[in-house]
Amino acid sequence: MGSEAEAADMFKCPVCNGNVKTGPDDVVITCTYCGSTTTDEGKAIGDHLMETAIDGETRTEGFRNFLDKNKGMNKSLVKDAQVVENRLIYVPVWIAKVKADSYYKGYKTVQVPVQKTRTVRDSDGHTRTETYTDYETGYVPVQDEIHTDTDEPLLARKGARFYGLEDYLDTINLSHTVPYDFEKIKDLEPTILNAEIGSEEFEKAVHGRVADRHRSQAASGLTELFDCRTTTSVRGTTYLQAPFSLVRYKFQGDLYKAAIDGHTGKVVLGEIPITRGQRILWTIVGLIGIIVSGVGGELLLMGMGVDDTLFIIGGIASVLLGIIMTFFGFRVLIMTERTKKG
């Protein structure tokens, strides 16, 4: 997570005249008193949407449902997990519909059948000429096009990063948005992050992102890409403030976290503790895996010695099973938690 504690400046809200603390890079600012959102020059930002948010109690309920679903053998997880932080953060996002057209050239290689002749000698010493098919590398020129028309969101922050935020941004659905209305969320006392990226910078960035995606798609089917030219048309640029919640909780003295969609209350990404009992169990599994691999190796050597197919197959299967058990057993042993998607 980027530093949010850098020295703050003061911005005079053009609507309510309130003094708003801002970061040094903020270019779109939401007043913490009246909720008005303007550029740092006091200009309107155009289309402005938001997702409504649920209260802290409902977010906690969704979080505990996530724990219950993923508790595994840890039956006490839901009861003993202590929520120590349940922040609602409105993150700024620019979204626009981007029509992109790419024209590219390159080549790909193919294996071309070639008829060849050779002279062979039979068992009696006589020679004859025969025809056979060989394969040589050929080059096929490719000239094609890619056309897309997609919604492109971009987090309007340069520094701030929160656990699970990128996964959350992938879930944003414009159909869930409403016109921005500060009165609908102010009682939830959210932290509202200002944008550090303006609309013009966003449109330049999104052009490059879509062009890079087209270039990667074009290159994926070619041996070499010679040229890829992309033109983009950005329309309907919208400023969206999206509710993201970061929950931190304690379990058996350790701290864990989960990222929650503040609109639905569903966990997007979360950490699940691994208890001492689970470590012991998986250590035993790993040790059994070592034994199974050893027995399988013995069976494999025995089968190869007497040319017994059944022993060879059984040995190979035992070795593979033992390796898998050992890998997962000791992998869990060194992990501090599991990461699960909601």
Contact between 151 and 97 (Cβ < 8 Å): yes
Average pLDDT taken over every residue of the chain: 87
Q: What is the mean pLDDT of residues 26-34?
A: 90
117 in a structural domain: no
pLDDT at 169 over 70: yes
| Residue 283 is assigned to a structural domain of this protein | yes
Same domain, 30 and 90: yes
Which residues lie closer than 8 Å to 307 by C-beta, 6 or more apart? none
Indicate whether 89 and 193 sit together in one domain.
yes
pTM of the model: 0.73
Cα distances from 17 to residues 32, 36, 251, in angstroms, run 11, 11, 45
Measured in Å, how far apart are the chain's first and last C-alpha atoms?
21
Instruction: Give the containing element (helix H, strand E) for 337.
Output: strand 337-341
The answer on 309 and 282 residing in a single domain is: yes
Q: Is residue 128 part of a domain?
A: no
Its sign, for the CA torsion 78, 79, 85, 91, is: positive
pLDDT in tens, 271-311: 988 766 666 677 777 788 888 888 888 888 887 877 778 87
- The conformation of residue 297, written as its DSSP 8-state character, comes to H
- Category of 163 on φ-ψ map: left (φ > 0), alpha (ψ -120 to 50) or beta: beta
Same domain, 266 and 188: yes
What distance in Å separates the CA atoms of residue 11 and residue 9, rounded to the nearest whole number?
7
Q: How far apart are CA 271 and CA 1, in angstroms?
A: 17
**84 in the same domain as 158:** yes
Domain that holds residue 197: 9-98+150-212+228-273
**Is there a single domain that holds both residue 236 and residue 295?**
no
Residue 213: per-residue pLDDT? 95
| pLDDT tens digits, 202-249 | 999 999 999 999 999 999 989 999 999 999 999 989 999 999 999 999
Q: What integer pLDDT is reported at residue 53 of this predicted model? A: 95
> Are 69 and 159 contained in the same domain?
yes
In a domain, 292, yes or no: yes
Listed residue (144, 134, 67, 136) closest to 102, CA to CA: 144
Q: Indicate the residue among 257, 273, 289 that finishes a domain.
A: 273
Q: Where are the alpha helices (DSSP H) in the chain?
A: 56-70, 77-80, 165-169, 199-220, 276-306, 309-334
Determine, yes or no, domain membership for 291. yes
Does residue 4 sit within a domain?
no
Give 248-275 pLDDT, tens digit per residue: 999 988 899 999 999 999 999 999 887 6
| Per-residue tokens: 199 | 């609309």
Q: Is 169 found in the same domain as 31?
A: yes
Whether residues 286 and 252 share a domain: the answer is no
What's the whole-number mean pLDDT along residues 60-82?
Answer: 89
Inside any domain, residue 173: yes
Is residue 251 assigned to a domain?
yes
| pLDDT, tens digit (0-9, with 9 covering 90-100), for 279-290 | 667 777 778 888
Tally of structural domains, the chain: 2
Return the structure tokens found at 273.
């503790």
> Does 240 lie in the same domain as 331?
no
Please check whether residues 266 and 300 belong to one and the same domain: no
| pLDDT band at 149; cut points 50, 70, 90 | very high
Among 55-59, 96-100, 110-114, 195-199, the minimum mean pLDDT is found in 110-114
Q: Identify which of 297, 304, 303, 288 has the alpha carbon closest to the alpha carbon of residue 319.
A: 297
Secondary structure (3-state) at 11: strand
Residue 2 is predicted with a pLDDT of 44
In this prediction, residues 19-25 reach a mean pLDDT of 88
Looking at the fold, whether 251 and 192 belong to one and the same domain comes out as yes
Q: Which of 238, 191, 180 is nearest to 51 (CA)?
A: 180
